[in-house]
Amino acid sequence: MKELRMILYKELIHIVRDKITLFLVLAIPIMLVLLFGFTISTEIRNAKVAVLDQSKDSQSVALIDKISSSGYFQVVAYPETESEIDRDFKEMDIKLAIIIPSEFEHSLEKEKIATLQIINDVSDLNVASVLNNYLQAITHDFITEYNHKGSESGTVEMVTNMRYNPEMNSVYMFVPGIITLIMIIVTALMSSITLAREKETGTMNMLLITPVKKVYVIIGKVIPYMCLSLISTAMIILISVFVFKMPVNGSIWLLLLLCIIFMFTAASFGMMISAISKTQIDAMMVTMMGLFLPTVLLSGFLFPLDNMPMFFQVLADVFPAKWFIIAIKDVMIKGSGFFDIWKYLGILILMAIVLITISLTNVDKRK
Partner 1 sequence: MQSIVAKDLTKQFGTFTAVNHINFEVEKGEIFGFLGANGAGKTTAIKMMSGLLLPTSGDALIGGYSIRTESKQIKKHIGYMSQRFSLYNDLTVFENMQLFGTVYGIPPKELKQRINNSLEELMLLDKKNSLVASIPLGWKQKLAFATAILHRPEIVFLDEPTSGVDPIVRREFWKLIYQAAAQGITIFVTTHYMDEAEYCHRISIMSDGCLKLIGTPDELKQQMGVNSIEEVFVKFVNR
What residue ranges bind partner 1 (CB under 8 A)? 2-3, 6-7, 10, 13-14, 17-18, 201-203, 205-212, 366-367
Backbone angles phi, psi at 318, to 5 degrees: -85, -5
Residue 177, amino acid: G
Distance in Å, CB of 4 to partner 1, minimum? 9
Of 60 and 194, CB closest to partner 1: 194
Minimum gap (Å) between residue 198 Cβ and partner 1: 9
103 Rama class: left (phi>0) / alpha (psi -120 to 50) / beta: left
Task: Please give the DSSP secondary-structure letter assigned to residue 306.
Answer: G
What is the torsional sign of CA 312, 305, 292, 342?
negative
Distance in Å, CB of 206 to partner 1, minimum: 5
β-pairing, 113-121 with 73-77? unpaired
Nearer to partner 1 (CB atom), residue 209 or residue 310 = 209
Among residues 240 and 274, whose Cβ is nearest to partner 1? 274
Smallest gap from Cβ 272 to partner 1, in A, equals 22
Contact residues for 276 (Cβ-Cβ < 8 A; gap 6+) = 282, 286, 359, 362
Considering the complex, state which of residue 102 and residue 203 has its C-beta at the smaller distance from partner 1.
203
- Taking the C-alpha atoms of residue 360 and residue 126, their distance in angstroms, rounded to an integer, is 43
For partner 1, which is the closer residue by CB, 197 or 245? Answer: 197
Name the phi and psi angles at 245, rounded to 5.
55, 40
How many whole angstroms from its chain centre is CA 192? Answer: 26
The type of residue at 166 is P
* CB of 12 vs partner 1, minimal distance in Å: 11
Least distance between partner 1 and beta carbon 223 (Å):
16
Nearer to partner 1, 32 or 212 (CB): 212
Q: Which is nearer to partner 1, 13 or 31 (CB)?
A: 13
Which CB sits closer to partner 1, 19 or 148? 19
- Contacts of residue 44, Cβ cutoff 8 Å, sequence gap at least 6: 72, 127, 130, 131
CA torsion, ordered 188, 190, 196, 201, to nearest 10 deg: -170
AA letter at 175: V
For residues 175 and 137, give the distance between their C-alpha atoms in angstroms, rounded to a whole number: 27
As measured in angstroms, the least distance from the Cβ of 267 to partner 1 is: 22
Cβ at position 14, least distance to partner 1 in Å: 6
Are the C-beta atoms of residues 359 and 274 closer than 8 Å to each other?
yes
Least distance to partner 1, CB of residue 136, Å: 56
Which residue's CB is nearer to partner 1, number 163 or number 213?
213
Write the CB contacts of 348 (distance below 8 Å, at least 6 apart in sequence): 261, 262, 264, 265, 320, 323, 324, 327
Residue 308: count of CB within 10 angstroms of its CB: 16
Helix H or strand E encompassing 173: none
